[in-house]
Amino acid sequence: MKVVFDPRQTAHAPETYFRRGGFITHPEQPQRAILLRDALAGAGHEIVAPADHGLEPLYAVHDRGYVDFFRTAWTRWVEATGSTEAAVPNYHTGRREGRVPQGVVGQLGYYATDTACPVMAGTWEAIYWSAQSAVDAADQVLAGARMVYGLSRPPGHHASWDASNGFCFFNNAAAAARHLRRKFARVAVLDVDTHAGNGTQDIFYGDPDVFYASLHVDPADYPPYYLGYGDETGRDAGLGTTLNLLLNPGDGDAEIGLAVDRALAAIRDFGAEALVVSLGFDMAHDDPLSVVRCTADGFAATAAKITRFGLPTVLVQEGGYLGPSLSDNAVVFLNACDAALAADAAAG
Ligand SMILES: [Zn+2]
C-alpha cells in the first residue's frame, strides 16, 4: 500500500509534558513516525512524499485565524517573551467565551485547550506536512486509488475548529474527509483510536454529509474527557450523523470487534460513498496510554473488516505511542488490508 509521509513532520519535537501532577517525557515523539515509516518500508510498503495542496484544505475545516496563527506563533513568541523554550499556554478562555486578543501569549491560550500542544521552532512545518500527507492520501483516492495511508504526525483528531488539544494541531482526518467531499456526496470517518476524536466530532457535528463514528474508551474518566459520550449524536442538519461507541477499561479484541461491526453498519445505513479511518494504534495492550487490550490479531481483524467494507478509503495515522508493538501493529494492519484487497481482486 502507498504510505504518504514527509520527513518535515518530525520538526515538532516536544520534550516534556505535564500530566497528573508531574512532568513526563512527551509521549508524542517524532520517533513514532520514523518507527512506523521504517517498519512499513521494511515490510514492502511504498513510501511516497505528499504534493503540496496549500492552505485551502486546512481552511476548509479550521478557523482561518487559527490556521494562520501557527505560521508565525513561534517567531512572535520569541520576540514577545525572549524565551526560546517551547511555548506552552498558561491562559485559557474557559468555555470559548471572549475574543481573540492581540498578543501572542493570549492568542496561544485562545487557540489551545491544554498543555499538550507546545509551539516550537519546527511546529508549523511539522503540522503543515502532517496535514498535507493526509490530504494527499485523500487526493490519490479521489484519483481512483482504492486505499492509501497518510502517515500523519503530529496526529489530528483532537484538534477542533479553532483549538489544539491532545497533541493535535490540524485535524488531518477531517481535512481528508472534506477533500473527499469534492467527489463523494457522503463521506464517513471511522475513528478507531482509543481516545474519542473530540475535534473531528466538533468539526462535523452539524454536517449532514459527513458521518462520524468512533469507538473509544468512555471519556467519563479518560481523555479527552469533555466530548465523546454516547448521547452526542449531532445537531441541526447533522442530527444522527455522530455515533460514539464506548469501551470500558480492560476490554479486548472481542468488545472492540463488536464496536467496529456496529460502526460499519451505521456507516452503511448512512450511505457513505468513501471512508476515512482515523487509525490509532493506542488500543494496543502494551501502549503506554492504553487501558484496553487490543492484540495484533485484533488489529488484523479490524483491518480486514474495513477493507472488505469496500469503499474508497483513506487511512490517517492518529495516536499510538512508544510501546513495544507500535510498528508491528502498523505492519499487521496494512498487511491485512493488502491481503483483503488481494482476495477481493482474486474473487473478481
Ligand atoms: Zn489516542
Instruction: Specify if 226 maps to a domain.
Output: yes
Instruction: Specify if 75 maps to a domain.
Output: no
Is the CB of residue 333 less than 8 Å from the CB of residue 167? no
Instruction: Specify if 87 maps to a domain.
Output: no
Instruction: Specify if 92 maps to a domain.
Output: no
Ligand 1 centroid to residue 215 C-alpha, Å: 11
Q: Cell 482561518 sits at which residue? A: 64
Is the CB of residue 62 less than 8 Å from the CB of residue 156? no
Instruction: Specify if 181 maps to a domain.
Output: yes
Ligand 1 centroid to residue 343 C-alpha, Å: 31
Report pLDDT digits (tens) over 114-159.
999 999 999 999 999 999 999 999 999 999 999 999 999 999 999 9
Instruction: Specify if 115 maps to a domain.
Output: no
Domain residues for the domain of 135 are 2-62+121-347
Ligand 1 centroid to residue 192 C-alpha, Å: 9
Q: How many domains does the chain have?
A: 1
Ligand 1 centroid to residue 22 C-alpha, Å: 20
Active site residue 158: yes
Instruction: Specify if 82 maps to a domain.
Output: no
- Of the residues 45, 62, 157, 158, only one is catalytic, namely 158
Instruction: Specify if 328 maps to a domain.
Output: yes
pLDDT tier, 348 (very low <50, low <70, confident <90, very high otherwise): confident
In terms of average pLDDT, the best of 14-18, 31-35, 91-95, 342-346 is 31-35
Is the pLDDT assigned to residue 96 strictly greater than 70? no
Is the CB of residue 169 less than 8 Å from the CB of residue 154? yes
- Identify the CATH number of the domain in which residue 318 sits: 3.40.800.20
